[in-house]
Amino acid sequence: MKTVFDVLSSKNKEAIASKVSYLTTGKATDYADYRYVCGQIRGLEAAQLEITDLSRIYMEDNNDDD
């Protein structure tokens, strides 16, 4: 069964992949754009860690209720 965490994680990973692709294909217009997109990637990766932690905690809590 897919949880909301699975959907969030999937969407987040797609966003990261899109940003990485943007950089690796040379689409950054200048250094400021490059730094901006790198910052977005860092933020998305931080969010991914939070999603993973919340999912783990949620699953542990639900397994304890059984």
**Whether the predicted pLDDT of 48 surpasses 80:** yes
Domain residue limits, the chain: 4-64
Q: Distance between CA 64 and CA 35 in Å, rounded?
A: 44
- Per the listing, tokens 């860092």 go with 42
pLDDT digits (tens, 9 = 90+) for 1-39: 889 999 999 999 999 999 999 999 999 999 999 999 999
**Chain centre to alpha carbon of residue 38:** 13
**Whether the predicted pLDDT of 65 surpasses 80:** no
